[in-house]
């Protein structure tokens, strides 16, 4: 056992201190589905240390609504964070709050923008809008934004707990000119944490805690 621990500690010592982890999930809802793998950390939102900044994305996305016929499109890159200022009354928005302006086609409540922050909440999101108490899910109500080519972006967010004990998600597809689809809710997501990453985190915990035991929508604008 002692020899195993020695080898484990040596292995961790060879890994860069800025650990990056993976989080995979699949989702499906009315006309939309996908499989996504995220890379996140170690940086967190400066306002919410429990929310990790997503650093990379891969996967596929499908949307057959409105004649789009987007089937297993390869996901491109994350849309960059812009650190926009939320409405004055919204005191709970993360520091990474950002906006993507869409000229036409969004519901009136969106005020012509899709909001996002590209944050992952491994232990479940907390309330992040002063006027919207619902919360929960591995994303918050602003969510994740990524590209799928042709000038199109996809916004994927959590609406929080829906009253049924389940977390409800929403999906929007847009260009800077037009909203192409807006699925306000009814989307379910199933996280699939990587066993390899969990092992890596366990080994890192052995080093960091040698004296302890490792323990394991309407959107605001």
Q: How confident is the model at residue 192 (pLDDT cuts 50, 70, 90)?
A: confident
Q: Are 63 and 32 in contact (CB under 8 A)?
A: yes
pLDDT for residue 197 is more than 50: no
Q: How confident is the model at residue 101 (pLDDT cuts 50, 70, 90)?
A: very high
pLDDT for residue 20 is more than 50: yes
The mean of the pLDDT values for the chain is 85
pTM: 0.81
Share of the chain above pLDDT 90, in %: 75
* Stretch 156-182: mean pLDDT: 94
Per-residue model confidence (pLDDT) at position 220: 52
């Amino acid at each position: 056992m002692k020899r195993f621990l020695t080898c484990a500690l040596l292995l961790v010592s060879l890994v860069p201190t800025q650990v990056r982890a993976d989080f995979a999930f699949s989702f499906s809802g009315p006309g939309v589905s996908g499989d996504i793998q995220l890379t996140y950390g170690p940086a967190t939102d400066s306002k919410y240390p429990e929310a990790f900044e997503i650093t990379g994305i891969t996967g596929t996305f499908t949307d057959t609504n409105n004649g789009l016929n987007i089937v297993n499109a390869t996901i491109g890159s994350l849309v960059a964070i812009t650190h926009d200022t939320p409405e004055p009354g919204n005191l709970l928005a993360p520091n990474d709050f950002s906006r993507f302006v869409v000229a036409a086609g969004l519901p009136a409540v969106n005020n012509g923008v899709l909001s996002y922050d590209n944050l992952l909440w491994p232990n479940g999101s907390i309330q992040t809008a002063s006027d919207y108490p619902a919360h929960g899910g591995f994303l918050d109500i602003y969510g994740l934004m990524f590209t799928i080519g042709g000038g199109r972006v996809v916004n994927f967010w959590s609406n929080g707990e829906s009253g049924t004990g389940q977390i409800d998600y929403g999906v929007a597809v847009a260009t800077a000119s037009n909203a192409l689809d807006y699925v306000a809710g009814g989307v379910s997501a199933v996280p699939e944490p990587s066993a390899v990453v969990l092992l890596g985190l366990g080994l890192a915990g052995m080093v960091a805690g040698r004296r302890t035991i490792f323990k394991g929508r309407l959107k605001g604008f």
